[in-house]
């Protein structure tokens, strides 16, 4: 087993520990469909990340939101839950990656892009890399941060 395979297994195992559904939902409920923007594209996906940032603030958390996009469709989304879950690892980007992995049933997110309300921190970049996300973007203008290195 190579080092990247080991890291990928480690991040997928970590993400599997994240709650599968919100605490208020039934545990046997499947995730609700993700609303898609009427006109898909980088600005629309960045706009969704910013809307999730605002949702995080409404929930009493840090102002961060993120979405994972693959093949022109939002496949995962997340809001910061660092404060509300008392989990220092529940960054919006990691929550979005976990959501996308859970919804896709895939072991990775090869070819996907991650749109965040702000630049990803080092830990979130590492999680994106280990999930095989191809590119990172941030902010309202969808600034291209390149591949997660």
Active site residues: 93
- 110 forms beta bridges with none
Q: Which of 72, 56, 67 is nearest to 138 (CA)?
A: 67
CA distances from 86 to 62, 89, 99, 117 (A): 12, 9, 19, 21
Q: Are 126 and 133 in contact (CB under 8 A)?
A: no
Backbone angles phi, psi at 139, to 5 degrees: 80, 175
Largest Cα separation within the chain, whole Å, is 44
* 107 CB neighbour count, 10 Å cutoff: 12
């Amino acid at each position: 087993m190579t080092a990247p395979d080991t890291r990928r297994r480690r991040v997928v195992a970590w993400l599997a520990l994240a709650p599968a559904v919100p605490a208020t939902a039934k545990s046997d409920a499947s995730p609700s469909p993700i609303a898609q923007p009427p006109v898909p594209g980088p600005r629309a996906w960045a706009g969704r990340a910013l809307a999730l940032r605002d949702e995080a603030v409404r929930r009493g958390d840090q102002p961060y939101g993120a979405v994972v996009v693959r093949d022109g469709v939002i496949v995962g989304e997340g809001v910061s839950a660092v404060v509300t879950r008392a989990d220092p690892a529940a960054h919006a980007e990691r929550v979005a990656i976990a959501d996308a992995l859970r919804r896709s049933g895939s072991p990775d997110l090869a070819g996907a892009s991650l749109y965040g309300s702000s630049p990803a921190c080092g830990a979130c970049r590492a999680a994106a890399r280990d999930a095989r996300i191809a590119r990172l973007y941030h902010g309202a203008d969808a600034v291209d941060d390149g591949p997660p290195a």
